[in-house]
Chains A and B, each alone.
Chain A
Amino acid sequence: MFREFKNYILEQDLEITFKKNSVMIVNYISIDHFESEKIIVKCEDKTVIIKGENLRVKKLLKDEILIVGIIKNIELR
C-alpha cells in the first residue's frame, strides 16, 4: 500500500502512451539508439524499441520523451 501511495505521489512507474503517429514514454533512463527507422529507449528494467519511418524526437525532457513519425512497431523487452 505504501509503495502504491509513493508511486501515486512520485509517479515513478514506466508509462508508454501510444497515439496516432506518436509515442510518449514517461520515466525512461536514456536513448540507446536514435535513427529515422528505429529508436531504442532504455527504461529501468525494460527496453522499448520503436520501429517506423521518419521517426523524430519531438520533446525530450529528463523523464519524458515524445517520439513522432510513422510508427509501425513498438517492442517491449
Chain B
Amino acid sequence: MINFLRRKIIINAKGRNIKRFIKKLNANKIELLKIDYISDGEVNVLIYKDNYEKVLELKSIYEIFDTESYGIGKIKKIMKVCKFLILSFIVGLVLFIILINLVFDIEVVHSDKDLRKLISNELKERGIKRYHFKKSYVEISKIKNEIIKKYPNKIEWIEIEEVGTKYIVRVEERKINKIEENNTPRNLIAKKNGVVKQIINHRGEQVIDLDTYVNKGEPIISGEIYLNEKVMGKVKAEGKVYAEVWYNVKTTYPYTSYKEIKTGKRKKTLVLNFLNKDIEFSLNKYEHKKSKEKVILKNNIIPIYLSLDNQEETKLIDQVLTFDEAVIKAEEYSIKQMESKLNGKEYIIRSKNLKSVLKDSKIELEMFFAVYEDITAYMEIGEEDAKK
C-alpha cells in the first residue's frame, strides 16, 4: 500500500548499450519497477521518484528524460487538472445530502382544523418545521410520546411518516363521551320494600323518617320544594338511602358429595393432544389428577399440539352427610350466596333458618335474611305523574 502511494516516474533512457545501463542501475541498488523496451537503444523505465537524482548521476553517456509521474505525484497532478470538477462533485454531494435531509412540507391529516393547527404548533415547538433538518427515528418517537402525554384527552395516537422530503402526520382524536348533565327535576325513591335505616341527603327535601317502612317506588327525598304546602320549586334530588330489606331464600343442598384430595405424587408427562383428545406418553397413568399444561410444539393449521404436563395425583373421597351436617352446609351455602350479591356498605343484619326438609337425598332449606342494603333509585317528577 505504501509502495502504491510512493511517488514514481517513468524515465526514458537512450544509449548505445542500454542493457549495460540497466545493469549499472541494478548494481547501484536502484529498483526498476517496469522496463519497456522501445528499441535496442531505448527503454522506458518506471522508477521511484526518490531514485531519480541518483539515476541522473549515473547516466554518463545515456540520455535521460522523465516522462510521466505515478503514485501520489500522479494523484496530485490529476487533482490539479481536475480541481474544478472534483470541487463541483464535492459541493454537489454535500448539497444533495443536505437537500435529502431537509423537510420541505409537513402535512397533518385530520378533518378538524383546530386539531391540525394544534399539532402543527406542537411540531414546530419541537423543531419539526419546514426547511429544517429531519429528525431521527428516536427523536420522532420521543416527540410523539410528548404530544400524546401533553394532550391525553385530545389525542388517541399520532404517527409521523417520512415520505421523501415530506412529513405526513396522522392523528386520531380521542373521543370521550361527555356525561351530559341532566338537570331534570327528580325524586329519590325506594328501589325495594324495606325499613329505612339511613338517609344521606345531598339535594331535595326528605319526606320519610328513619325506621319507616317504605314500599318500592315510594319517594324518600322529594325534588319538589314546598313552602306552606305549595310547590315553590323543583330540583334534582340526590342522595343515598339504606334500608333493612327482608328476603326469603330457598336453597337445595345434596346429602352426598365427593372431595378431591391431593396424594402428593406428581410427575411430568408428555401429552399429545389431537382434536381435543389427549394421548399420554406414560406407563403409570393417574386415575384422577390435576394437570398444568405447557405447550412445546403447536401447529396452527392442524389441531394438534405436544405439551409437557405437570400432573398431580388426586383421590376422590365420597362424603355422606348427616341431616344436621347437611343443614349447616346448606345454611353456609345460602349465606355465601347472599353475601356475594352485596357490595360496599351492605351487610347481612341477621338470618334465620325457617324450614329445612329432606327431599330426594337433598336438603331443601328456606332462610330468612334481613339485609342492610342500598335502595336508592330515581324517578323524574314528570315521569312519576305519567305513571299515576
> Are A57 and B35 neighbours in the complex by a CB distance under 8 Å?
yes
Bitwise interface map of A from 16 to 36 toward B, beta carbon under 8 Å scored 1, else 0: 000000000000001100110
Tell me the smallest distance from the CB of A11 to a CB of chain B, in Å: 16
Instruction: Tell me the chain B residues, 16-53 only, with Cβ under 8 Å from chain A.
Output: 19-20, 22-23, 25-27, 29, 31-35, 37
Instruction: Tell me the chain A residues, 15-63 only, with Cβ under 8 Å from chain B.
Output: 30-31, 34-35, 56-62
Known contacts A56-B37, A60-B25, A60-B26: A34-B19 contact under CB 8 Å: yes
Contact pick for B32, options A30, A34, A35, A61, CB 8 Å = A61
> Are B35 and A59 neighbours in the complex by a CB distance under 8 Å?
yes
The docked-state distance in angstroms from the alpha carbon of A60 to that of B21 is: 12
> Are A35 and B26 neighbours in the complex by a CB distance under 8 Å?
no
Tell me the smallest distance from the CB of B47 to a CB of chain A, in Å: 10
Which residues of A lie under 8 Å from residue B34 when comparing CB positions? 58-59
Nearest A residue to B17 via CB reads: A34
Which residues of A lie under 8 Å from residue B35 when comparing CB positions? 56-60
The docked-state distance in angstroms from the alpha carbon of A59 to that of B31 is: 8
Tell me the smallest distance from the CB of B124 to a CB of chain A, in Å: 65
The docked-state distance in angstroms from the alpha carbon of A28 to that of B26 is: 12
Known contacts A31-B23, A31-B26, A34-B23: A59-B37 contact under CB 8 Å: no
The docked-state distance in angstroms from the alpha carbon of A57 to that of B341 is: 110
Tell me the smallest distance from the CB of A56 to a CB of chain B, in Å: 5
> Are B27 and A60 neighbours in the complex by a CB distance under 8 Å?
no
Tell me the smallest distance from the CB of A58 to a CB of chain B, in Å: 5
The docked-state distance in angstroms from the alpha carbon of A22 to that of B34 is: 14
**Dominant SS among interface residues on chain A:** strand
Nearest B residue to A54 via CB reads: B37
The docked-state distance in angstroms from the alpha carbon of A62 to that of B22 is: 13
The docked-state distance in angstroms from the alpha carbon of A61 to that of B26 is: 8
The docked-state distance in angstroms from the alpha carbon of A35 to that of B25 is: 16
Nearest B residue to A55 via CB reads: B19
Tell me the smallest distance from the CB of A32 to a CB of chain B, in Å: 9
The docked-state distance in angstroms from the alpha carbon of A30 to that of B26 is: 8
Which residues of A lie under 8 Å from residue B27 when comparing CB positions? 30
Which residues of A lie under 8 Å from residue B32 when comparing CB positions? 57, 59-61
Which residues of A lie under 8 Å from residue B29 when comparing CB positions? 62
The docked-state distance in angstroms from the alpha carbon of A62 to that of B23 is: 12
Tell me the smallest distance from the CB of B22 to a CB of chain A, in Å: 6
> Are A59 and B33 neighbours in the complex by a CB distance under 8 Å?
yes
Which residues of B lie under 8 Å from residue A59 when comparing CB positions? 32-35
The docked-state distance in angstroms from the alpha carbon of A56 to that of B22 is: 10
Which residues of B lie under 8 Å from residue A56 when comparing CB positions? 35, 37
> Are B33 and A34 neighbours in the complex by a CB distance under 8 Å?
no
Tell me the smallest distance from the CB of B152 to a CB of chain A, in Å: 71
Tell me the smallest distance from the CB of A27 to a CB of chain B, in Å: 15
Interface core residue of A30, A35, A56, A60 (most chain B CB under 10 Å): A60
Tell me the smallest distance from the CB of A73 to a CB of chain B, in Å: 20
Which residues of B lie under 8 Å from residue A34 when comparing CB positions? 19-20, 22-23
The docked-state distance in angstroms from the alpha carbon of A57 to that of B22 is: 9
Nearest B residue to A58 via CB reads: B35
Nearest B residue to A35 via CB reads: B19
The docked-state distance in angstroms from the alpha carbon of A58 to that of B36 is: 7
The docked-state distance in angstroms from the alpha carbon of A56 to that of B31 is: 16
Nearest B residue to A63 via CB reads: B31
The docked-state distance in angstroms from the alpha carbon of A31 to that of B19 is: 11
The docked-state distance in angstroms from the alpha carbon of A56 to that of B18 is: 11
Which residues of A lie under 8 Å from residue B25 when comparing CB positions? 60
Query: Can you list 11 pairs linking A and B with CB atoms under 8 Å apart?
Result: A30-B27, A34-B20, A34-B23, A35-B19, A56-B35, A57-B19, A57-B22, A59-B33, A59-B35, A61-B31, A61-B33
Chain A residues at the B interface, C-beta cutoff of 8 Å: 30-31, 34-35, 56-62
A59-B32, A60-B35 known, 5 other contacts, Cβ within 8 Å: A34-B19, A34-B23, A56-B37, A59-B35, A60-B31
Enumerate the 8 nearest inter-chain pairs by beta-carbon distance, A residue then B residue, closest first: A60-B32, A61-B31, A34-B19, A34-B23, A60-B26, A58-B35, A56-B37, A31-B23
